[in-house]
């Protein structure tokens, strides 16, 4: 990903988060309510309130800890933190923004690759067909993640129940959706090529 | 005839097929015409907002713009994730004209902001008002149910029109269908959502806790309106049992299936035979409950 070079100083992580989400993490007073309600805390190396705190601190060490954390990839997006934040700060959106930055900078911890591969397989399927479909999604996910052996008995059981359509539905606007992907994924979105 | 726009979403063509079947069957009974958005695309679900904040808005934006161009004022999005993404996008666009402009540029489609998105619970409520309430001739008297809202039908300021900690949107319909709503603690806890494949361990832990609490509360079934919750609680119930939990044997029903049964629609038409955990047993209970009533009518 290209970086903006014209700035006199690099933006702080808190500023980048503010830009992407509208959330000013400096307002977080560390009450811990987000952490108390988070169902994924047992699967995280940093709690949601620690993520908020490290974005506030924003020095090299804090940013490094954050961008390599497994917490970013363990957020399930249940919105409990956001719903309960007494400062209306939307920690779930902060988690999304920091994950996005970690992804752009190629900082995904090895043990979290499965989550990333799933998201990538999902988006790739949608980019090409306009819609998600279980068969191509699962095939692509398994190819990308190398996770070939989980759930091998599930597919026949789903098939039996008519829950695994084998014909991929492709929408007429698939090329249009593909263009939307290209534009969103290119950082210099203002300078998109006219084609 | 009342017309409502319809956004099935990707899951409803696959794993969540019975949600689609029961939503459509109910519309027919209530005399509501569902008009599918032409050429709708995926909402982007968890994957888009996990990796790209523009894409997370642009994908639902295209669908909203298509619905508006088609003249659909209200659109039902039965999948809780689709609902949350579509309505969440609509809410953000309404607040942020710069975002509208940016999305217009990215998608090359205009959107004025006229489309209202309804979730499956609001939809069922709407049908009850439209006349479905008078057609519930096969009430499921005595069926004890735990209404499960999960995350995306309980949370989201300005998205879910309900009490976020104690939602009640399903209760009117469940009571109208003759069910007994049991009080329980896990109505808004997360099932593990989109981590079904990539973090199955988390899904096993979280969904096991939900099933256990519903059982402790004496529920005969859990009722949901979310295809992700359904797949984690129903399809993954065997995975949970195989992990040494439970063992659970709890049917997971869609709200639209429950209302469909109460309206006398054949269970197969509602997709009740497609569940992993046998859900057809619920219909047997209904039949038993109905027997004495029929006899008194004969006599």
User: Could you tell me which chain B residue has the CA closest to the CA of A144?
Assistant: B198
Q: Which of A155-159, B7-11, B277-281 has the lowest mean pLDDT?
A: A155-159
CATH T-level topology, domain B138-298: Rossmann fold (3.40.50)
- Check pLDDT > 60 for residue B16: yes
pTM of the model: 0.91
Give the mean model confidence (pLDDT) for residues B294-298.
Answer: 44
Residue A93: predicted pLDDT: 96
Give the mean model confidence (pLDDT) for residues A114-127.
Answer: 91
- Check pLDDT > 80 for residue A8: no
Q: pLDDT class for A2, splitting at 50, 70, 90?
A: low
The interface predicted TM-score (ipTM) is 0.90
Which strands, in side-by-side order, build the sheet including B144-147? B180-181, B144-147, B221-224, B252-254
- State how far residue A91 is from chain B, nearest Cα, in angstroms: 13
- What's the CATH number for A13-107? 1.10.1060.10
Residue A193: predicted pLDDT: 40
DSSP 8-state class, residue A139? H
Please give the interface size between A and B, counted as residue pairs whose CB atoms are below 8 Å apart. Answer: 163
Give the mean model confidence (pLDDT) for residues A85-93.
Answer: 96
Helix (H) / strand (E) element for B3: namely strand B2-6
- Check pLDDT > 60 for residue A3: no
Distance of alpha carbon B76 from alpha carbon B86, whole angstroms: 10
Residue A166: predicted pLDDT: 74
Domains of chain B, residue spans: 2-120, 138-298
- Check pLDDT > 50 for residue A188: no
SS3 A31: coil
- State how far residue B8 is from chain A, nearest Cα, in angstroms: 11
- Check pLDDT > 60 for residue B253: yes
Residue A124 contacts B where some CB pair is shorter than 8 Å = no
- State how far residue B296 is from chain A, nearest Cα, in angstroms: 39
User: Could you tell me which chain A residue has the CA closest to the CA of B163?
Assistant: A83
Residue B287: predicted pLDDT: 56
What is the percent of chain B where pLDDT is above 90? Answer: 87
CATH architecture of B2-120: Up-down Bundle (1.20)
The total number of residues shown for chain A amounts to 195
| CB pair distance less than 8 Å for A131 and B42 | yes
Domains of chain A, residue spans: 13-107, 111-186
Give the mean model confidence (pLDDT) for residues A63-90.
Answer: 96
pLDDT higher at B262 or A194: B262
Residues from chain B contacting residue A145 (CB–CB below 8 Å): 198
Distance of alpha carbon B275 from alpha carbon B267, whole angstroms: 11
**Residue from B21, B47, B226 to probe the interface with A (highest A Cβ count within 10 Å):** B47
Give the mean model confidence (pLDDT) for residues A90-119.
Answer: 92
Residue A145: predicted pLDDT: 84
pLDDT higher at B53 or A141: B53
Q: Which of A82, A165, A180 sits opposite B13 (nearest CB)?
A: A165
Q: Tell me the average pLDDT of chain A.
A: 88
């Amino acid at each position: 990903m290209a970086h903006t070079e014209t700035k006199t100083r690099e933006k702080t992580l808190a500023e980048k988060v503010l830009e992407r989400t509208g959330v000013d993490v400096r307002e977080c007073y560390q009450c811990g309510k987000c952490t108390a309600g988070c169902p994924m805390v047992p699967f995280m190396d940093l709690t949601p309130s620690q993520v908020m705190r490290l974005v506030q601190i924003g020095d090299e060490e804090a940013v490094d800890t954050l961008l390599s954390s497994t917490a970013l990839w363990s957020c399930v997006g249940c919105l409990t933190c956001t719903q309960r934040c007494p400062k209306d700060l939307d920690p779930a959106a902060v988690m999304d923004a920091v994950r996005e930055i970690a992804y752009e900078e190629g900082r995904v911890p090895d043990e979290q690759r499965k989550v990333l591969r799933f998201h990538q397989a999902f988006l790739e399927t949608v980019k090409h067909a306009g819609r998600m479909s279980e068969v191509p999604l699962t095939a692509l996910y398994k190819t990308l993640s190398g996770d070939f052996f989980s759930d091998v008995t599930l597919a026949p059981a789903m098939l039996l129940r008519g829950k695994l359509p084998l014909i991929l539905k492709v929408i007429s606007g698939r090329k249009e959706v593909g263009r939307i992907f290209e534009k969103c994924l290119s950082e210099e979105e203002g300078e998109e090529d006219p084609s | 005839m009342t017309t409502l726009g319809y956004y099935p979403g990707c899951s409803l063509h696959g794993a969540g097929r019975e949600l689609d079947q029961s939503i459509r069957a109910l519309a027919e009974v209530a005399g509501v015409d569902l008009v599918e958005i032409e050429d709708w695309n995926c909402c982007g679900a968890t994957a888009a907002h996990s990796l790209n904040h523009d894409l997370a808005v642009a994908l639902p934006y295209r669908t909203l713009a298509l619905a508006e161009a088609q003249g659909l004022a209200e659109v039902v999005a039965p999948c809780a994730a689709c609902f949350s993404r579509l309505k969440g996008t609509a809410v953000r666009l309404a607040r942020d004209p710069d975002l509208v402009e940016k999305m217009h540029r990215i998608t090359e489609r205009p959107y004025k902001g006229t489309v209202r998105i309804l979730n499956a619970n609001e939809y069922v409520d709407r049908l009850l008002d439209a006349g479905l309430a008078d057609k519930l001739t096969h009430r499921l008297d005595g069926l004890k149910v735990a209404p499960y809202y999960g995350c995306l039908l309980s949370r989201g300021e300005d998205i879910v029109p309900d009490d976020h900690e104690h939602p009640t949107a399903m209760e009117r319909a469940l009571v109208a269908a003759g069910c007994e709503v049991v009080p329980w603690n896990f109505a808004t806890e997360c099932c593990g959502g989109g981590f079904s494949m990539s973090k199955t361990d988390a899904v096993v832990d979280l969904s096991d806790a939900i099933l256990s609490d519903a059982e402790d509360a004496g529920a005969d079934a859990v009722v949901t309106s979310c295809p992700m919750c359904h797949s984690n609680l129903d399809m993954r119930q065997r995975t949970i049992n195989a992990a040494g939990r439970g063992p659970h044997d709890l049917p997971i029903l869609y709200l639209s299936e429950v209302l469909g049964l109460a309206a006398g629609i054949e269970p197969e038409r509602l997709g009740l035979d497609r569940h992993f955990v046998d859900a057809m047993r619920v219909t047997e209970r209904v039949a038993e409950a109905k027997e004495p009533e029929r006899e008194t009518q004969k006599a």
